[in-house]
Amino acid sequence: MLLSEVLINIGLGLCLGTIGGLFGIGGGLIAIPMLGLLFGLDQHLAQGTALVMVVPNVMLALWRYNQRNRLNWRWAAVLALAGFCWALLGANLAASLSATLMRQLFVVFLLTLMLYNGWRLYRPVPLQSAQGAPSTGQLAVLGTFAGLAGGLFGVGGAVVATPVLTSVFGLSQVAAQGLALAMALPSTGVTLATFAAHGQVAWGMGLALSCGGLLSISWGVRIAHALPDKLLRLLFCGFLLACSLGLLLQ
């Protein structure tokens, strides 16, 4: 890998890390279409390579979110355990599908998330209460679906967990993003291991991206806590739309 390529990837990682910290997703959601558009990586290789950046980004972002907004670690543990088990299944399923089908499914997944997030912007969100707090069973079900989606699409499942935690259980956007990161950490790790076992990771590129991401993810976390909750959700919808368009152009 040439020095110029390393520097370009570190610079790209800086941008992706900021976005990942802002939305509590590690940066993989936008890295995947960008790696396809800029470097011609197919869907499998883009997902595997993005995960090299996502795993350390999620670790650092989780620490930063917990510093600013203490997490409920019992809830996080239930989400993480369910997510881990089903992410393994999703990652193995992804490895067996064609790159074209994977990209099409990913676009549908992103557009569905965007429409759901857009809809919940304009409906009243209940304040969290003792009655509205999620049960262990509800968290396990959420972790199951989020982990399966995260393993299949290489995004950790946080993009699924966050809107459910805010719209169904009334958590604030930043609190939900912190819990989603806790759930995503083990599932992104097992998903990366699965993609690597199938030879679907460009390690040099991924490590350069992770260096940039680790330098900048704290900036995104700081911005997230400074923005109004509704604006952060609106930006997230725009972000999902941009990712979908990027994949459609690929």
**Successive 10-residue mean pLDDT values, the chain, 250 residues:** 87 91 80 87 92 91 89 94 91 87 86 84 56 83 91 80 86 88 90 93 95 92 89 87 78
User: Range of 137's domain?
Assistant: 3-249
- Amino acid, single-letter form, for residue 29: L
- At 150 the pLDDT is 84
- At 127 the pLDDT is 47
Give the pTM.
Answer: 0.82
Q: With beta carbons less than 8 A apart as the criterion, state whether 72 and 66 touch.
A: no
- At 128 the pLDDT is 47
- At 55 the pLDDT is 92
- At 70 the pLDDT is 87
Q: CA-to-CA distance for 95 and 76, rounded, in angstroms?
A: 28
Counted domains in the chain = 1
- At 20 the pLDDT is 84
Q: CA-to-CA distance for 11 and 62, rounded, in angstroms?
A: 22
Whose tokens are 């990209």? That residue is: 103
